[in-house]
Structure 1
Amino acid sequence: MSKTIVPGEVIQVSGRVRRITAPNPGLMTGPGTNTYLVGDDEIAVIDPGPAEPAHIEAILAACGDKLRWILATHTHPDHSPAAVALAEASGAVVMGNTLSQNDGFQDDSFAPVKSFAHDECWVTKEFTLRALHTPGHVNNHLCFLIEEDGLLLTGDHIMQGSTVVIIPPHGDMKDYIQSLTLLLDYPLRALAPGHGHIIDDPVAQIEGIIKHRLGRESKLLATLQKTGVIDIERLTSYVYDDVDPSLHPVAQHSLLAHLLKLEKELRAARDGDLWHLTG
């Protein structure tokens, strides 16, 4: 495996899975969106990525005439738009879950002919794929477990080298932590994230993310205890004082998700734009 992720390079990440990374590096995408090719004789493309011509060409070249299915973990614009061009070029079947309403962050072009229920197994001649409904980053998010390899394709539920941003209303922190905990019930050998390298210590990684999120929540509660009534902008500067201030506008989305979680649990409340502890 290359130490540096190179867009367009085909990397074998497990016995049945290859990775091609899109040329869309950035603050929210890291080195780029990872597209996974599962199978050899009949191929499923998971997270086709953005509709970048070079990326589409790389996928088609790697698949040849064997592309049969196109799946998306979710419908953010860096994960699913290339499905249209790939389906037109190959006749492959598009599969995945959609949202009933677009929050302004979704890909409206994604039109699957099949959706997945939680824990549904989809079997081909070469592999078994288990779909896990993992809301949190977004309500329609799925992770896909390639059972023979113990490899979980995590989409944006887990990213290597970066923290996932939770943007309400379709992003939900309470759901996110519950979905992370859910993954610990499955026999995982490795994680294949939507951005970054393969993660070989899945349990430690998942438990570490849960600990980090709950630690951030504890810091939020302590800050509210000290400050009393406060607006979210000032609250962000306290709770994320360990993060570069230039990233605070992004962090504010996740902080709102934390506050909404506490509001559901009746531990915090708001008056207009101001937040405070209950009781």
Structure 2
Amino acid sequence: MSAVRRGAETIAPGVVRLIAPNPGPMTGPGTNSYVVGTGPCAIIDPGVNDDDHLDALVAAAPGEIVAVLVTHAHPDHTGGARRLAERLDVAVHAHATPLRGVRDKAFHADRFMADGDRVALGDITLEAIHTPGHAADHLCFLWRETGLLFAGDTVMADVTVVILPPDGGMTAYLESLTRLRALPIKQIAPGHGRMLDDALVVLAQIVEHRLAREAQVREALADSDDATTADAIAARLYPDLDPRLRGMAAAQVESHLLRLAELGQAQATGDGWAPD
């Protein structure tokens, strides 16, 4: 598997990737933006509102751009969407579910896409797959004829996808992964990081990792004499974590605890969490 490179890169016939200039602990090299089609074209996840990046997206399109598609309304994916759509006089397509937590408050879609909706781009047809988990409004886009999935933040390369309540949910995420494993997916174009081959193996590994982490959280809960907190469990599970990511790690543990509560294996107390 090749490393991510800067600049416009053709990753499949009719698909060009550009990386937005927003690298960081949560975004990796930056948000992946995709130009899909040879005319007409669509842009998936324009990323941040940066002049050079938006100019590069337009320049990379080999034909008329007719739509902007957004996987979910987090700022690192939507920051440039409105400005780009207005510049091109095209519609922004996204799922209708409003987010309550982390979100781009200035973002709005012109057209809502539901599960199974399709966008025709000449010889390429993209099918919207509703995949809540990372965010309640999350869409993946599947090019069935090639098995290429534009996964947004449902799958990321080399890092764990963040599940943040109230819009993210671990049970919904696992259900979305199970659904994706039943589809004819061969390759994954993630929202961050390199391309992923052997898609079904990758998806199975993610599920295995999440269930293993869930077992660790359950064990930590059982080992506590009194009620414990997500922060305390996170400190136990991630002792060497970058201090900048400690809050995010605790939020991940919280999402597992909420799932365990749904399964009748944990309960919230006034002081934190305890086994049920």
TM range (shorter): over 0.9
Aligned-pair CA distance for 1:126: 2.0
Aligned-pair CA distance for 1:246: 4.8
Alpha carbons 2:149, 2:185 under 8 Å: kept? yes
Compare 84-93 and 254-263 and name the one that shifted more. Answer: 84-93
Alignment of 1:171-210 (within 5 A): 171-210=168-207
Counterpart AA for 2:213: R
Q: TM-score, normalised by structure 1?
A: 0.93
Equivalent residue number for residue 222 of structure 2 = 225
Alpha-carbon distance in 2 for matches of 1:22, 1:124: 23
Counterpart AA for 1:5: R
The correspondence for 2:162, drawn from 153, 160, 165, is 165
Alpha-carbon distance in 1 for matches of 2:194, 2:98: 32
Compare 21-30 and 61-70 and name the one that shifted more. Answer: 61-70
Alpha-carbon distance in 2 for matches of 1:64, 1:123: 16
Counterpart AA for 1:96: A
Counterpart AA for 2:215: S
Alignment of 1:64-213 (within 5 A): 66-103=64-101, 105-213=102-210
Equivalent residue number for residue 45 of structure 2 = 47
Alpha carbons 1:143, 1:153 under 8 Å: kept? yes
Cα RMSD for the two superposed structures: 1.7
Deviations 1:76-112 (A, max 9, x none): 0000121111112111221111433432x21133322
Residue ranges of structure 2 left out of the alignment (5+ in a row): none
The correspondence for 2:57, drawn from 53, 56, 59, is 59
Compare 54-63 and 253-262 and name the one that shifted more. Answer: 54-63
Alpha-carbon distance in 1 for matches of 2:98, 2:29: 30
Alpha carbons 2:97, 2:137 under 8 Å: kept? yes
Alpha-carbon distance in 1 for matches of 2:161, 2:99: 22
Deviations 1:208-250 (A, max 9, x none): 0100000000011111111142122212112334644553221
Aligned-pair CA distance for 1:135: 0.4
Alpha-carbon distance in 2 for matches of 1:247, 1:87: 34
Alpha-carbon distance in 1 for matches of 2:210, 2:71: 22
Alpha-carbon distance in 2 for matches of 1:55, 1:46: 13
Alpha carbons 1:75, 1:98 under 8 Å: kept? no
Counterpart AA for 1:119: G
Q: Number of residue pairs matched?
A: 275
Equivalent residue number for residue 261 of structure 1 = 259
Q: TM-score, normalised by structure 2?
A: 0.94
Counterpart AA for 1:137: H
Aligned-pair CA distance for 1:187: 0.6
Alpha-carbon distance in 2 for matches of 1:107, 1:203: 31
Does residue 22 of the first structure (1) align with residue 41 of the second (2)?
A: no
Alpha-carbon distance in 2 for matches of 1:203, 1:51: 34
**What's the secondary structure of 1:145's corresponding residue?**
strand
